[in-house]
Amino acid sequence: MQVEQHHIDELNQGHLAKHKQQFEFVAEGLSNVDTVIQKLIAFNITIPSWALGTGGTRFGRFSGGGEPRSLEEKIADVGLIHALNRSSNSISLHIPWDIPENAATIKALASHYGLHFDAVNSNTFQDQPDQELSYKFGSLNHIDKAVRQQAIEHNIQVIKYGVELDSKALSVWLSDGSNFPGQLNMRGAFERTFDSLQQIYTALPDDWKMWVEYKPYEPNFYSTTIGDWGQSYLLSSKLGNKAQTLVDLGHHLQGANIEQIVALLLMEGKLAGFHFNDSKYGDDDLTVGSINPYQLFLIFNELVEGMDARGMNHATGIGWMIDASHNIKDPIEDLLQSVEAIKIAYAQALLVDQAALKQAQQNNDVVQAQEILQNAYRTDVRPLVAQARLLAGGALQPLALFRKLGVRDNLIRERGLKTVATGL
């Protein structure tokens, strides 16, 4: 099913008067509204191909209806999301879950929906049916050179698929680590990982980046070989300019000050980008902004300030992607909510009076500094985000339109009620 422009325009028409009123109310109090709107229009968030099917936990999975059965259908779903919100103009593929058999056709299909391909993701955390050697005891850090070689070759193969699709980054997340003390020599594991990554790095085209993701635990529960931002930063520094550290919000121990991590990585030119999600306890992969929207805002505040300090383009300077698991919600609805939450946090950060904040910091005026941040955070920026969407040709109310058009029922009719999603 495709959402046509007239569907969007018709529904927008009915909401226009109220929207105008709400927008003007917020706009009135702002000095930089046009710049904010332009920045919001330019800001897009990548949808990962594995987020379009229903996720699950290790206890099971309750499949939803009308899930995409192929790469083509995943692209169609991202196309749908983008048509509604005009803020999701790219897709990130996971190999081998989404092997593009015919790159030219896949590329043409994506551009039909106004999409391009963001980072390609390798997968050495699962054994594939036709795989010769097992990753049970690791991949790039494995003690057996042959296993490491297999994992290296897989990553190089992923780069090749990415080149055909005009991707510009390889995203590497390893589950490598140990479950019990004594299982691994930690220095040895790190050195082998570095050596393997170096070989993959050599295969990167000049205009590519390697994004090194970290995670403190799971599926290994004693140590993870790339366990935190320090370890990822160490690897990406030793590798070279094309390697950077990827921050997945769920990949931190409780209480970690993520905004501080982000500020420093950005300062060093080592922030690859984000995997957005939210969590209450661990790597919960809940909808971004659903648990701790204030933290999300504080992260964006550091990003906006730090990117401006470095003269970076907000939209293209780093990678923006969702990485969540939609276990009980309709994945498309959840992704629409996610994109909205990210854009709200970004808009709030754009409203922070940076000059006044700097002044308050200079004066050690702690109270005023908090007032400035919370003044921006407590502004209802939803009409600004909606205005940007309207100007970009999207729906004033994407979620409401998705429901009104009965998109999911249509997808169920097309694809069936029970489908086996590829991925986790």
Q: In the complex, which residues of this chain contact ligand RM4 (CB under 6 A)?
A: 121, 173, 213, 215, 248, 275, 283, 323, 424
Q: Is the dihedral of CA 172, 214, 226, 279 positive or negative?
A: negative
Q: How many CA atoms lie within 13 A of 69 on its CB side?
A: 11
Nearer to ligand RM4, 331 or 383 (CB): 331
Nearer to ligand RM4, 212 or 385 (CB): 212
**Of positions 82, 107, 142, 275, contacts Mn ion by CB under 5 A:** 275
Per-residue binder mask for Mn ion (CB under 5 A), 297-336, x = binder: --------------------------x-------------
Q: Are 397 and 3 in contact (CB under 8 A)?
A: no
Please, what is the minimum distance in Å from the beta carbon of residue 7 to ligand RM4? Answer: 33
Please, what is the minimum distance in Å from the beta carbon of residue 251 to ligand RM4? Answer: 7
Cα 336 from Cα 326, distance rounded (Å) = 12
The DSSP code for 121 is E
Stretch that binds Mn ion, among 21-29, 153-161, 269-277, 305-313 (CB under 5 A): 269-277
Please, what is the minimum distance in Å from the beta carbon of residue 285 to Mn ion? Answer: 6
Stretch that binds Mn ion, among 33-41, 42-50, 117-125, 272-280 (CB under 5 A): 272-280
Cα 161 from Cα 145, distance rounded (Å) = 24
DSSP string, 150-174: HHHHHHHHHHHHHHHTT--EEEE--
Provide the residue type at 105 as one letter. Answer: T
Please, what is the minimum distance in Å from the beta carbon of residue 69 to ligand RM4? Answer: 19
Cα 403 from Cα 165, distance rounded (Å) = 32
Which one, of 394, 399, 382, 385, lies nearest residue 329 by Cα? 399
Please, what is the minimum distance in Å from the beta carbon of residue 218 to ligand RM4? Answer: 7
Stretch that binds Mn ion, among 190-198, 276-284, 359-367, 406-414 (CB under 5 A): 276-284
Residue found by looking up tokens 């489908």 in the block: 419
Please, what is the minimum distance in Å from the beta carbon of residue 71 to ligand RM4? Answer: 16
Indicate the SS3 state at residue 133.
Answer: coil
The DSSP code for 287 is P
Q: Which of residues 235-254 bind Mn ion (CB under 5 A)?
A: 248
Q: Which residues lie near Mn ion (CB under 5 A)?
A: 248, 275, 283, 323
